[in-house]
Amino acid sequence: MLRSPVARTAFAAASALAVALIGAPAPARAEIVVGESLDWLVVSRPHVAVMRVVEVVESPVKGGATWTTRTVRLERVGVMKGEPPETATFERHVSVGAAPGRGAPRVFAPKENGEMLVFFRVEEGGREAGEVRVDQAIDLERPATGGLTDVAFTTDFAILDDGDTIVKTAEARLALIEAAAAKAKRDGEPPAERARPANFFAAQRGFIRFEIPYDTAAYRALWSGSSCYLVVPADHALRAEIVKATASADVHERAEAAERLLSYPDAEARAILRKLLVDPGTSRVTVHGETKETFTIYPVRQAAYETLRALGEDVEEPEGYWKD
């Protein structure tokens, strides 16, 4: 996924076409959805805690309303990462009405005295800058299996529905983080840059954004009429497949791989990216504005150049580069 205006326009056009092809069964408002794996939540959120549900309050449902606000008050039981607050309160808007049918996703419905695995964010702008807020909260007693947030997605597109397994998975990821930090300290390397929650257009630094296969639990939980993606940590185990994809026959797969090499900034990756600056692959993009214009772009060259620049390399713009 490229970040240039032409690429964004092309992606939007492709998404609109996909929605049109889906037809009547699609939701009234089709959306591209990006979920976050449990492992990525552990990596990217600065504070993580196990908390007990003190109180759950639902706002009255009036008239024919199909949604209500569920307010959850928590107190800390144990610290897993950072310095989470001792107490917290958050809200979720949840669907109400007819009971779900057999096989329907389990909805977010925490009960008092149950425990939750809670991920906190720190507000970075405006009057709320510096405030610590609940970002996601996974019910450990009855984990939700549907929805964009508060669901324990695995890195292989499954959903964990057992509290003990969820906690063990989070602990295993924390152990990897601590081991990597200890190794960096022994080797005299600077501390790793703090990971941040990833939006759709964020450069893939420290994470990989995979399109979710349609026949998986994650797809069924997240699908909203268009493409679904899942963010996972950029583990070393993924590197070989990404390097292999830089030689794919598909121009867009090569471009995506070039972007993903941002998370693996070693000498080999930089050499591969430099070779991709002359990749012959092209793509035709039509932009509809006041006039209709069609452009030829080089997606792989574009991605390789932007990745090299992000890695601090001094490189010249490749032939055919589309300037922002």
Residue 202 lies in a domain: no
Determine the residue type at 255.
Answer: A
Give yes or no: residues 255 and 292 share one domain: yes
Q: Using CA atoms, how far apart are residues 10 and 117, in angstroms rounded to an integer?
A: 39
Q: What is the pLDDT of residues 102-143, one digit of tens each?
A: 667 888 899 999 999 999 999 988 888 899 999 999 999 999
- Helix, strand, or coil (residue 70): strand
Range of the domain at 74: 38-186
Q: Using CA atoms, how far apart are residues 185 and 66, in angstroms rounded to an integer?
A: 53
Name beta bridge partners: 76: 51
User: Among 1-10, 97-106, 293-302, where is mean pLDDT lowest?
Assistant: 1-10
CB atoms within 10 A of CB 168: 12
**The domain spanning residue 75 has which CATH number?**
2.40.50
Q: 251 and 281 in contact (C-beta within 8 Å)? A: yes
Residue 71 lies in a domain: yes
Q: What is the pLDDT of residues 135-188, one digit of tens each?
A: 999 999 999 999 889 999 999 999 999 999 999 999 999 999 999 888 888 888
pTM value is 0.83
Name beta bridge partners: 151: 144
Q: What value, to the nearest 5°, has the Cα angle with vertex 72 and ends 107 and 61?
A: 65
pLDDT over 70 (residue 198): no
Give yes or no: residues 12 and 113 share one domain: no
Question: How many domains does one find in the chain?
Answer: 2
- Burial code of 146-164, b = ≥16 C-beta within 10 A, e = fewer? bbeebbbbbbebebbbebe
